[in-house]
């Protein structure tokens, strides 16, 4: 999708029936409900769609023709599946030595779990230790990730690998194979904790909020039942200013909190005091107070808040897409390049929507295409 955002002609190849399972993802019971297929729009917008049965000789022959002239081939098939379908790097690069071949798996290319199916909920989130590490406290059960929490950043990592390979091709004249996995990206997201263990360290799990080790990197409930997070990482510098902003200047020299050691040992007492203070004002008022005092703090936003957040627009999070109902907007890919324009997002394709068009571009006649559809090679 990111390549398509920057103007590439991207062909999405799916099985003839029922197509990519992502088409149905938005219908799972715990996900947001909407008439528009939002999950598929994010995954497949601006691509052309082709339905091929790669288990047939005709289907593989069509793919072979596409590969001969393409710059990049991306697959999320397992290593063994690539062998069965005849789409390994060795096979395809023999047809096109300049090809950049990108393989994404759940758990990596080799090892005992290389053939295991992987989704971001298990490979990225659970297996990497993130689900355990981000629990609210040591007594809480792990939380499930939101849709795409691992898929989206892993896709960006794969994009980075591909453009690095394209730069290598510019310099060497030859393509290459790049690989990534949900598990490796989960480990990257959890790098600080894993590195601590690699260094012989010990993970300190979060304590319950009211028993925290640090009251100044904590969540607090406001009068409007919204939560606020404060992050005073330079608290020796900001302690007095924080107390003034909170309206509790008497705490500055309180012996329980005046310096760092007692402030840590008495953190639970400080949480109780701040709980009472935060409950006196709405979150919007606290937001104004902390901004005026230049203190790092933020309301815990809900997805519904973000569509009204002006800064989200300035950050480039949204882009116009008049084919999407409601506000006519979609989520933009997360970076811009000066001097390079992005392409306006186009609707995600229906299953096999562009099959005939692409086959015609490859030189197939109408009769050829009809026969391919009749034998189930193309949808």
Torsional sign, CA 207, 212, 217, 218: positive
Are 78 and 105 a contacting pair, CB within 8 Å? Answer: yes
Is residue 25's pLDDT more than 90? no
Cα–Cα distance for residue pair 264/282, rounded to 1 Å: 27
C-alpha angle with apex 195: 163 to 142, nearest 5 degrees? 90
Tokens 């689900």, located at residue? 131
pLDDT (tens digit, 9 = 90+) per residue, 57-99? 999 999 999 999 999 999 999 999 999 999 999 999 999 999 9
Q: Residue 176: which of 69, 67, 60, 71 has the closest Cα? A: 71
Q: Which residues pair with 319 in a beta bridge?
A: 330
What is this structure's pTM? 0.93
- At residue 129, the 3 state secondary structure works out as coil
C-alpha angle with apex 64: 59 to 69, nearest 5 degrees? 135
Check residue 376 and give its pLDDT.
95
Q: Which range has the worst mean pLDDT, 49-58, 246-255, 302-311?
A: 302-311
DSSP assignment of 142-207 equals PPPPPTTTTHHHHHHHHHHHHHHHHHHHHHHS--EEEEEEHHHHHHHHTHHHHHHHHTT----PPP
- In this structure, what DSSP letter does residue 250 have? G
**72-75, strands of its sheet edge to edge:** 72-75, 100-105, 176-181
Average pLDDT over residues 38-64: 96
pLDDT band (50, 70, 90) for residue 44: very high
- The structure tokens listed for 172 are 């060497």
pLDDT (tens digit, 9 = 90+) per residue, 148-200? 999 999 999 999 999 999 999 999 999 999 999 999 999 999 999 999 999 99
Burial letters 155-169, b for 16+ CB under 10 A, else e: bebbbebbbebbeeb
pLDDT band (50, 70, 90) for residue 222: very high
Cα–Cα distance for residue pair 55/68, rounded to 1 Å: 19
Are 123 and 107 a contacting pair, CB within 8 Å? Answer: yes
pLDDT band (50, 70, 90) for residue 26: confident
Check residue 59 and give its pLDDT.
96
Cα–Cα distance for residue pair 332/126, rounded to 1 Å: 27
Are 212 and 271 a contacting pair, CB within 8 Å? Answer: yes
Task: Please tell me the number of Cα atoms within 13 Å of 80 on its side-chain side.
Answer: 8
Is residue 17's pLDDT more than 90? no
Cα→Cα distances 97→63, 134, 173, Å: 16, 44, 9
Average pLDDT over residues 110-126: 95
Are 135 and 204 a contacting pair, CB within 8 Å? Answer: no
H/E element holding 219? Answer: strand 217-221
**217-221, strands of its sheet edge to edge:** 217-221, 227-231, 297-299
Check residue 284 and give its pLDDT.
94
Angle between helices 235-246 and 283-292 (to 10 degrees): 130
């Amino acid at each position: 999708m990111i390549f398509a955002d920057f103007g590439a002609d991207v062909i999405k190849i799916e099985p003839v029936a029922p197509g990519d399972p992502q088409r149905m993802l938005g219908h799972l019971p715990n996900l947001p409900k909407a008439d528009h297929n939002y999950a598929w729009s994010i995954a497949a917008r601006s691509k052309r769609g082709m339905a091929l049965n790669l288990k047939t000789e005709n289907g593989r022959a069509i793919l072979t023709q596409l590969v001969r002239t393409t710059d990049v081939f991306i697959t999320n098939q397992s290593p063994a599946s690539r062998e069965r379908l005849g789409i390994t790097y060795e096979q395809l690069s023999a047809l096109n030595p300049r090809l950049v071949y990108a393989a994404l798996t759940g758990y990596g290319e080799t090892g005992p779990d290389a053939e295991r199916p992987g989704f971001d909920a298990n490979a990225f989130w659970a297996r990497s230790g993130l689900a355990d590490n981000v629990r609210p406290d040591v007594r809480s059960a792990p939380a499930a990730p939101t849709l795409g929490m691992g898929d989206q950043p892993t896709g960006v990592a794969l994009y980075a690998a591909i453009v690095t390979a394209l730069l290598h091709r510019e310099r060497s004249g030859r393509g290459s194979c790049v690989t990534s996995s949900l598990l490796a990206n989960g480990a990257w997201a959890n790098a600080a904790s894993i590195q601590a263990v690699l260094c012989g360290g010990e993970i300190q799990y979060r304590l319950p909020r009211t028993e925290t080790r640090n009251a100044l990197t904590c969540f607090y409930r406001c009068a409007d039942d919204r939560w606020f997070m404060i992050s005073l990482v330079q608290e020796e510098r900001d302690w007095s200013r924080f107390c003034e902003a909170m309206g509790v200047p008497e705490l500055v020299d309180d012996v329980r909190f005046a310096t760092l050691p007692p402030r840590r040992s008495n953190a639970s007492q400080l949480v109780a005091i701040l709980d009472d203070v935060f409950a006196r004002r709405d979150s919007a008022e606290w937001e104004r107070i902390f901004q005026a005092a230049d203190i790092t703090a933020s309301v815990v936003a809900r997805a519904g808040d973000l569509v009204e957040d002006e800064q989200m627009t300035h950050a480039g999070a949204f882009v116009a897409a008049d084919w999407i109902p409601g506000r006519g907007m979609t989520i933009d890919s997360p970076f811009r390049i000066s001097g390079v324009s992005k392409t306006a997002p186009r609707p995600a394709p229906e299953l096999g929507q562009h099959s005939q068009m692409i086959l015609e571009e490859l030189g197939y006649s109408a009769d050829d295409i009809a026969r391919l559809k009749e034998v189930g090679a193309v949808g």
